[in-house]
Each structure stands twice: as structure tokens, then as C-alpha cells.
Structure 1
Amino acid sequence: MAAESASRRIGLIIVGDEILSGRRQDKHFSKVVELLAARGMQLSWAEFLPDERDTLVAAYRRSFATGDVVFSCGGIGGTPDDHTRQAAAAALDLPLALHPEAEQAIALRTAEMAAKGQGTADMSAPENQQRLQMGVFPQGCEIVPNPYNRIPGFFIRDHTFVPGFPVMAWPMLEWTLDTRYRALQHVRQHAEHSFLVFSMPESRITPAMQTVETRWPGVRAFSLPSVGEAGGTPHIDLGVKGEPGAAAEALEFLRGEVLRLGGKLAPPAN
């Protein structure tokens, strides 16, 4: 079970024309990475998608087919530019239906707002009938509670769908991680180490990086070159990530290869 849990991939889908156009800056990617890291988990992939029904249907069909754990942020509202709920249902060939728990939560929220003088609690009113559309989800899903304003997201086949608003989405994602995926937390032993390399082209160390991935299966080598912006010295951030013991061995191998091939571990003196 531990091995199976450790092998689960985690994906993130961020939906919104406003992100792709630059009208708004995405905040979900870095936050999801942070939430996962705090639980010993790691993001495997991410996609940014427009508010286009066909594009979303195709993307969700692919992601449902993977068996990955997927978090989807944005597009679950009730306005014409929101397509995520409908696309998820179409991707699974499921009908849409008003979820009874979502209906209750929306009615409660509506009553709370009416008590403050904002609108009516009559759920037959046109505006409240429209509000109920936010609880129309793929049939058979479960709701994801929203502590901010009660309007829920939904969960189906290891996909969690939440609003695009960070103040709502992030506690909903945390709840999902700690309620549905506790068994995936802190099960993978993972280490990442790197060091700076000077006076060496990336091409010279590439064969050693390939050797790392052959000699230590499960360890990945990485190279992040810097061209010396703002007057800095050009260098390579060279490292490895993987199982702690093997990663430590691979790191020492790389360090030795850098020195053998004429690289430096400190910037050259001016």
C-alpha cells in the first residue's frame, strides 16, 4: 500500500481566460506546491486552460484516464463563461444534476444573506434559482465544503473541483488533502540537493548527468544554468533529486566529475 501511495501522481489544472490573458496573475500554482510540500507530497504536472468547453472536455478526458489525483481551480460558477462543471460531466459521459447537499448549502447561504438585508430567502426567486446552478454537478459526485461562503465544489474520480478565488479554493484543497488523501502524505522519502558550478559549460557535465540516471535508478539529475544576469558570474546550479541515500551518492559523484572535468565550485577571483 505504501509503494502504491508513493507512486500516485498529482496534477493541477488552472482554468481561466483571465489568467491566460494576463488580466489576473495566477496564485494557485505556488500555493498548491506549498500545500503538497507541507505534507510530503509533490506536484507531477500542471496545465493552464481557457474557459472553452471543448478544450476543457478534452483535457478532463485525458486527466480522468490517467488515474492521477487532480485538483482543478476555476470555472465552476454559474455564469455563461463558466464551463468547468459541464465539461467534467461531458468528459465522464454523465448527466448534470443539482446535488442535494449543494442545494442545502446554497439555500443556507442565501438565507444568511437575506437576514443581512441582501436579497430574498425565497429560493423560487429567479436570482436564487440562478444561484442554485452553482450546485449542479456531474451526477454521482460528492461535494467539497467551502468554509468561506458555503458554496461547495465537487469531487469525482480523484478529481477535486474548486472555485478560482484563492480565499475559497485553498481551504477547500487543504480539506481534501487531509480528508481524502492522508494516506498519501509523508510516504515518499525524497531529497533534493544541488551545488553551484563555475567555469564549465553545461555540455561538458551532461554525460555525467546521464550516468547518474543510469547508475542510480529513481534519481534524477538537473541543471539550471545562469548566464550571469545583473553582473553576476555565469554558473550552473547542478543537482539531484530522489531517494535520500541514492541521491547523496549521486551528488558526490557529480561533484567529483565537475572537479575532474575542470569545473570550479567557487566563482573565479576577479
Structure 2
Amino acid sequence: MPFGLIVFGDELLSGKRQDAHAPKLIELLAERGEELAWARYVRDDRAAQAAALRQALASGEGVMACGGIGATPDDHTRQAAALAAGRPLQAHPEAQALIWQRAREMAAERGLPPPSPQNPDMQRRLEMGVLPAGARLIPNPYNRIAGFSLGRVHFLPGFPVMAHPMMAWVLEQEYGLWPRPAEVRERSLVVQGAYEAQLTPLMEGIEAEFPGIKVFSLPSVDHPSWGRCIELGVKAGSGDGQRQAAFAALRQRLHDFGAFICTEMVR
């Protein structure tokens, strides 16, 4: 299944903060033999978020949506999710019970009495437990304020310390994807003395000869070690045996072409 990522937040688009979710999701997927198919950043705007979420819900893909599930004026994700899914927002008893549990724990840690249901701060906290109808909870090991799922779209907090273990939980519990021993996913080499346009027929020939293999090309004009160069490699296929055979053919054809091979890499 393809996996995607949506991150909500004006602070990412303005440059105030750097996204930490895409690198972590890439890492978690790689540990499970998967790859991130796409990522998208959306501003704090309810209509824009709902439009992005409609596409995600309709895609049938596994999508992590991070940020904006709080209860401040710039948090729109719960409302946008309800709009996108065509469902009403309603109090989720389990989610609100977890919020109450966390509030009592925090009061006890400070030596204070349990919060009153009429407390305005408590009412605002409980808003985080008002979710689209039919939402499934995602446990939050950091502070118990749950995320939620609608179909295959999974809504997580913006805070990496909370969102990242919740991502792992979703991959394991929703999709049965557990970390597994590292395996070779691609083989590549760095070449000098050629341009991509010159090597394109060679790359197309490898893909034609080895069905399922993808040949990739990453050119650099100022690589710190090799200057102007191209990293060429093979990935996908039905196993590393096929990748090794395709890689050997790629290396031989580059040698026949006259390109200089700087180094070889396995990932």
C-alpha cells in the first residue's frame, strides 16, 4: 500500500519551524520494508485542510496527518476532518475519559484537587475529545490525549515527541507492519565523465531487460567529494538477486561507455 503524509501548519510554510515528521515517517517505513509515496504541507485554513483530506480519504492510501488536533483557534484539523468525511463532530467518551484521567494526574502531581467539570480550562481540554463520528482512537503514550483515525487517514499531534511513537503504533496495529531485519533495497554507483542525456538509453535498456527494476539517476554539479558526477542505481525488483544482476549489467555498460566509476554503494 502507498503511504502518504500531510502536515498542517503555517509555521512550516513560513519557515519558523522545520518539519520533523517526513524524515521520521521515512525512517519508520524503511524499517518495515516500505517507502513514503508522497508528502504535502497545508496551511492552517479549514477549507484548504478539508480539501486535502477529501483527497486523502478518497485515495484509499495510508495517510498520516500531523498537526492541528488541539483546541486553540488555529487548530482546524478535527473540524476539517469532519467536513471531509461528511460526519458530525461529537464527544468521544473514551477520548474525553483519557483527558479527564490526564487532568487528574496533573493535579495530583501538583498537590491540587481534581479539576471541576465547570472549570473553563477543563472544558477547553475536553474539546480535544470532540471528534468526527465513528473515529477510532490512536493512543498517545506521552500525555494520553489521543489521536484518531478515519478510514486509512490517521490524525496525529504536531509535536514529534507524541506523533512519532503514534506513527509506529498505526503502522503496526492498523497495517501489521513491524520492524524487520535490514535488507538491501538499492544498489548504486557514482560516475564521472558522462551526462544524463548520454546515459538515458543505457538506463532504459536496463529497465527493459530486467522487468520490475527501476533505474534512478541523481546528478550533482558540486558534490563535496566527486564534483560533477551522477549517482546511478537500481531499486525495486523481486529481490536482491535481481537487483544484483541488474546492477552488474549497469556497471558493465558504464564501463563499456567509458565512464569513470568513483565508488559503489548499497542501501
TM over 0.5: yes
Residue number among 174, 181, 194 corresponding to 1:180 in the alignment: 174
Closer, same or farther: CA 108–155 of 1 in aligned 2, 3 Å: same
CA-based RMSD: 2.1
C-alpha contact 2:189 2:262 (8 A) present in aligned 1: no
- What CA deviation, in whole Å up to 9, does each residue of 1:79-110 have, x standing for no partner? 11111111111111111111111110011111
In the TM superposition, what whole-angstrom CA distance separates every residue of 1:47-70 from its partner, at most 9, and x where no partner exists? 111111111111111111111011
Aligned match of 2:17: 24
Is the counterpart of residue 225 in structure 1 residue 219 in structure 2? yes
Q: Give 1:217 deviation, angstroms.
A: 2.7
Say if 1:190 and 1:241, in contact at 8 Å, map to a contact too: no
Q: Contact 1:41–1:185 at 8 Å: present in 2 too?
A: no
Percent identity over paired residues: 46
> Of 250, 253, 265, which residue of structure 2 is paired with 1:254?
250
Unaligned runs of 5+ in 1: 1-7
Query: How far apart, in 1, do the equivalents of 2:206 and 2:156 lie?
Result: 40
Task: Give yes or no for the alignment of 1:76 onto 2:69.
Answer: yes
Q: SS state of the match for residue 137, structure 1?
A: strand
Contact 1:113 1:119 in 2 (8 A): no
> 1:4 corresponds to which residue?
none
Alpha carbons of structure 1 residues 120 and 23: separation in structure 2 relative to 1, 3 Å: farther
Q: Is the 8 A contact 1:190 1:242 kept in 2?
A: no
| Distance change (3 Å), C-alpha of 1:108 and 1:236 | same
CA–CA distance in 2 between the matches of 1:63 and 1:185? Answer: 25
CA distance in 2 between partners of 1:231 and 1:209 (Å) = 24
Following superposition, the deviation at residue 191 of structure 1 comes to 2.3
Q: What number of residue pairs does the alignment pair up?
A: 259
Q: Does structure 1 residue 264 correspond to structure 2 residue 260?
A: yes
Q: Give the structure-1-normalised TM-score.
A: 0.89
Unaligned 5+ residue runs, structure 2? none
Question: 1:95, 1:139 within 8 Å by CA — same for their partners in 2?
Answer: yes
Partner of 2:6: 13
Distance in 1 of aligned mates of 2:250 and 2:226: 24
2: CA distance between counterparts of 1:190 and 1:230? Answer: 25
What's the CA shift for 1:129?
A: 0.9
Secondary structure of the 2:131 match is strand
**In structure 2, distance between residues paired with 1:209 and 1:140:** 49
User: What secondary structure does 1:227 align onto?
Assistant: strand
CA contact (8 A) 2:172 2:178 kept: no
C-alpha separation in 2, matches of 1:122 and 1:203: 70
Q: Once the 2 structures are TM-superposed, how far is the Cα of residue 44 of structure 1 from its aligned partner?
A: 1.2
Describe how 1:146-225 pairs up with structure 2 within 5 A: 146-182=140-176, 191-225=185-219
Larger % of strand: which?
2
Q: CA distance change for structure 1 residues 206 and 184 in 2, over 3 Å: closer, same or farther?
A: farther
SS in 2 for 1:265: strand
Residues 20-73 of structure 1 show CA distances to partners (whole Å, capped at 9, x for unaligned) of 111111111111111111122221111111111111111111111111011111
Q: How far apart are residue 230 of structure 1 and its match?
A: 5.0
C-alpha distance in 2 between matches for 1:11 and 1:113: 35
